Amino acid sequence: MSVAGDSAARAGLTVGVLGPTVVRHDGRAVAVGGPAPRTVLCRLVIADGRYVPIDALVDCLWPHDPPPSARITAQGYLSVLRRTLEPDRAPRQPGRVLVRDGAGYALRLGSSALDVDRFSTAAAQGRDLLADGEAEAALARFDAALALWRGRAYADCADHDFVLAESHRLQELRTGAREHRLAALVELGADDTAVAQLRAFLTEHPLRERAWALLAQALYRAGRRGDALAVLREARNRLIGELGVEPGPELAELHRDILDQSLRPPSALKINRQGAGGRHPQAVARR
């Protein structure tokens, strides 16, 4: 989101679209309006600071057969939205958050005002920390990222065509963050917790080879070599049966390492009994 809106973030405005649409001022939720203003807000958020022509907003609101008054009605929804986003704006003063020029309308939100941006930042930090061997810190960042999700992205207009690509992209990022979070648990040696959560994750995503590898590693490190090998056989059967492909090099190499008992030992850093962030490992958020 454009840094031109940093004043909006300093003013305490936040917008959430990782679930039902929510607007908050200084942490207090305010009414956004009905489905139409929410649709307009979602379309502007997806534009990521770029101007959206009024005709494009009309197309979002009325994909088929817009009424003759569509442009005027859309302007009314924009006025409602501006009052929601900028309640202290004086009459006839130009907007600072919802701005307009000849090209259309755009949002100017600060880099920390939108939950999508906070999620992406925290997840990227988690990946970097994990790559650097800082699994405990990585786990905390993944938990912070995933805690921002309150349901389906853009839930208020999730079936609109303009949302589908972005919603799918965000869901892929969410799934990746969940998988990386589980990798941090395995690295920390939380084997029983990791095994349980990986099995649940694979129930949802049975074709993710990285998750199968993590489950096999967690089982092996828990002293369950036979179960680890059985998991790798199950992964191979699933991939061949559903995709017609053999497992990739990661699973093949892991299978050899487990057979040879040459898999490296778990990290010396363990989650303590209270778990990451003062919580018991079993109570770490299950996302």
pLDDT digits (tens, 9 = 90+) for 86-141: 988 877 778 889 999 988 999 999 878 999 999 999 999 999 999 999 999 999 99
Q: What percent of the chain has pLDDT over 70?
A: 88
Name the CATH superfamily housing domain 116-283: Tetratricopeptide repeat domain (1.25.40.10)
Task: Delimit the CATH 1.10.10.10 region(s) of the chain.
Answer: 3-107
Would you state the pLDDT for residue 77?
A: 94
Task: Delimit the CATH 1.25.40.10 region(s) of the chain.
Answer: 116-283
Mean of the per-residue pLDDT values for the chain? 87
- Phi-psi region for residue 264, left (φ > 0), alpha (ψ -120 to 50) or beta? beta
User: Would the pLDDT of 266 be above 80?
Assistant: no
Integer Cα distance of 13 and 11 in angstroms: 6
Question: Mapping DSSP to helix (H, G, I), strand (E, B) and coil, where does residue 281 land?
Answer: helix
pLDDT-derived band at 159 (thresholds 50, 70, 90) equals: confident
Measured over the CA atoms of residue 232, residue 235, residue 239 and residue 241, the dihedral's sign is: positive
pLDDT digits (tens, 9 = 90+) for 28-69: 999 998 999 999 999 999 999 999 999 999 999 998 889 999
**CATH T-level fold of 3-107:** Arc Repressor Mutant, subunit A (1.10.10)
Would you state the pLDDT for residue 264?
A: 67
